[in-house]
Amino acid sequence: MTDVFDGNSKALDRDARPAASEDVPAEAEAAPLSFVVDQDGSIRHFLSLILHGAGVDTEEFADGAAVRTAIRRRNPDLIFINVGLESADAIETVVALGKRGYFGFVQPMSSRGSAVLEHVKSIGEEHIKCCRC
């Protein structure tokens, strides 16, 4: 299942999740959840397809602001976050995760090189207890 959110955290495309009372196999209810954050919709969708193939549900976000809103209602097991040209959005999101006590995995992604990723990872280690970036 993929939920896609724009920068205003409004659902753009959403598959309905079955109600808890419906007959759903236990393993379907227990599927891990990943947030996929990237400005490029095709990259979000591609990564979501790979994760679905591995049995992971996803919610897609175009920016960190939408993730910071969504983390109030859902606690994902894993977050893939793109560190784009403006890395402040990713950094602000990692700091917000730490403030909310997030204890899952964060996987930063970037085409800008390993130095950018290491910078975001070091900030995550400062703000997320036992950060698993």
- 62-87 pLDDT, tens digit per residue, is 999 999 999 999 999 999 998 876 77
**pLDDT greater than 70 at residue 27:** no
List the beta bridge partners of residue 36. Answer: 60, 80
- The pLDDT score that the predictor gives to residue 25 is 56
> pLDDT by residue (tens digit) across 85-129?
677 888 899 889 988 888 888 888 888 777 777 877 777 777 665
- The pLDDT score that the predictor gives to residue 76 is 95
Residue 49 to residue 47: CA distance in whole angstroms: 5
In the CATH hierarchy, which fold is given to the domain comprising 38-133? Rossmann fold (3.40.50)
**pTM tops 0.75:** no
Name the residue ranges covered by the structural domains of the chain: 38-133
